[in-house]
Chains A and B, each alone.
Chain A
Amino acid sequence: MPRGIDSKKGVQLVYRRFSAFHRFNHYLVMVSFFGLALTGMPLKFQDSFWSQLFINAVGGVEMAGLIHRVMAVANITYFLLESGYMVYYVLARKGPIFGEDSIVPSWKDWRDMRGMFRWFFGKGPKPRFNRFTYWEKFDYWALFAGTILIGGSGLMMWFPEEATSILPGVTLNVALVIHSNEAFLATGVIFIFVHFFSAHGRPESFPADQVIFSGYLPVEHCAEDRPAEYQNRLQSGTLEEVVQSAPPEGRRRLFSVVTGAATIFAFTAATYTLLLILWPLLF
């Protein structure tokens, strides 16, 4: 039974959670999202003391606009790749849409959430999570849906003449409201309230979770954090498919460095947003 260390070979075993494709997509969305927030938020919070400073730091408002568009293309690329993967998964791989390993929400997520609140107050055991927790599903689908809204409205404002050749001018008013609010919502969810907390702040991953960068995590961590998934694989005999020996030392060190860099990146992004938002409220 692969748990921790393979008794025969004496090497550490890891649980492979994310494929290279998904890790690549995460890098893409991570860099592009921060690039978009970096150059867009100063426009939303233009009254903040910091906005002019930040705009000057990236080389002026024209340069900020250029970076924003380049990052938008990268972000749309993530969206197209992920949509393509969904189609491929359903049509070509004929993967199950619902079920225990699925990222599609289920009633268990509702029960898990209630279970977590009970656990917070010490009134019950911690729910036994499947492959994806309810907050991960929220993150995933909020980002996916948000990208449609923010990307669509952004494209309308990037090409206003073309957009209004088909649609009435008030569409641009709606586009600005959507773009601005969706950006604020997404930035708050990712940088402050949900995503960074689950990746860095919750006890199970503190101070940083490297699984999205390396793709693997120690088998015992998986068994502890996703007990239902681990148990399912154990019972159905599919655990061997995802357990492998840990990569060589050099690669492990590389992933630690990447995770460290991502942590610094994350805290920079959160501080940046908080400075822009809170400064006008405080002063």
Chain B
Amino acid sequence: MDVRGPYLLSALEKVFTSSGCYRAFVAILSCVAFLLLVPADAVGQGQTADFSGRCLVCHGQEYLGRVAVEGQTKNLYIDPELYEETAHGLLPCNSCHIGFSTDPHSMVSNAESFAEMAREACRNCHDDQYEMYLQSYHGTLTREYAEAPRPAEEKPPVCVDCHGTHAIHKVGGLEYKQNIHLVCGKCHKGSDRTYLDTYHGKAVNLGRQAAATCVDCHGSHSILPPSNPESTLSEANALETCRLCHPKASEGFTTYLVHITPTSPSAPLVVFLVAVFYLALIILVFSFGGVHTLLYIYRGLKDKLYFGKGEH
């Protein structure tokens, strides 16, 4: 199958359906012109050549897209200005998109080979992190997944699932800290909310840099489940991890439960009972107080007791 087909289809679709058909038309013309006019040998081997500028002939067009295999349209536009502000902003496209040339499209025919390519690309510069990742639970799951594919929703994360792609920013800073729970929460649903409900979460959410986020306790590239003895949160290691911020912590400190919902029966019984007791008490007191207040006002207005003081 001609892999350019989807591009043209998509572009044609834009021509007939989008209000920006003129720009789409320009985009197609530019692509065609590029393919015809740029000599293949100039970029063909392109492993080391900086051809950012040439990539952007097509990928700098806002309407560049393709219809993916699943039938969804995928936007292939890269905003050069936004990209330049990222941590990789000075790197040419082919430092990550290894082996891409003027005819790159056969290499990205399926998402799996793309993910594989992306991991290798990250490894080229971030070898330490890559090795840690391989040893981590995420890395183990990825290997298992490659051998025995499961539904796409269960796909374990590779580098780009946490870090993103063209918008990778340096780790650190408040914005990073305030968003990390959303990244983990993409798969670990519910844990982002329970984190936010702790003082760590509340403090970070409202602007405190010093409070812990997911990765401060769980680790990142070498992350392992707490059940694994090597985990930062295993019984043997949890105290050491807590002491990174709370030097005076003792064993009891490590048994504080971060990811619980107090009003859920799955919470420890004492927490659940206290939460339910308060819920009932608050409803009782507020409704009684509210009714009492409203009736008092009603009587006061009816008997014209307001504003009439001193005349009794």
Interface of A toward B, CB cutoff 8 Å: 42-43, 46, 51-52, 55-56, 60-62, 64-65, 116-117, 119-122, 135, 157, 160-162, 164-170, 172-174, 176-178, 181-182, 184-185, 188-189, 192-194, 197, 201-204, 206, 224
Contacts and interface: CB of A to CB of B under 8 A. Distances in A.
A174 B268 CA distance: 9
B286 A188 contact: yes
A120 B299 contact: yes
A55 B307 CA distance: 38
A193 B278 contact: no
Nearest to B210: A62
Given A164-B256, A169-B255, A201 B297 contact: yes
23 contacts: A43-B203, A43-B206, A46-B206, A52-B206, A65-B208, A116-B292, A121-B295, A135-B292, A161-B249, A164-B252, A164-B253, A174-B274, A176-B262, A177-B274, A178-B274, A185-B285, A188-B285, A188-B286, A188-B289, A189-B289, A194-B293, A206-B300, A206-B309
Interface in B285-311: 285-286, 289-290, 292-293, 295-300, 302-303, 305-307, 309
B270 interface: yes
Q: Is the interface of A mostly helix, strand, loop or mixed?
A: helix
A161 B271 contact: no
Contact of B282 (A117, A157, A184): A184
Contact of B207 (A60, A174, A201, A202): A60
B228 interface: no
Interface of B: 196, 198-199, 202-203, 205-208, 246, 248-250, 252-257, 260, 262, 267-268, 270-271, 274-275, 278-279, 281-282, 285-286, 289-290, 292-293, 295-300, 302-303, 305-307, 309, 312
Contacts of A206: 300, 306-307, 309
Nearest to A194: B289
Given A174-B271, A174-B274, A119 B281 contact: no
Given A170-B257, A173-B257, A119 B305 contact: no
B298 A120 contact: yes
Given A170-B270, A173-B271, A193-B293, A178 B253 contact: no
A164 to B, nearest CB: 4
User: Lowest 4 A-B CB distances belong to which pairs?
Assistant: A193-B289, A169-B255, A203-B305, A181-B278
Contacts of B275: 177, 181
B296 A46 contact: no
Contacts, number: 143
B274 A161 contact: no
Given A120-B299, A203-B306, A197 B293 contact: yes
A121 B257 CA distance: 50
B283 to A, nearest CB: 10
A167 B290 CA distance: 38
A161 B255 CA distance: 12
A165 B24 CA distance: 67
A63 B293 CA distance: 36
A202 B199 CA distance: 38
B256 A117 contact: no
Contacts of A135: 292
A196 B182 CA distance: 41
Contacts of B285: 185, 188-189, 193
A64 to B, nearest CB: 8
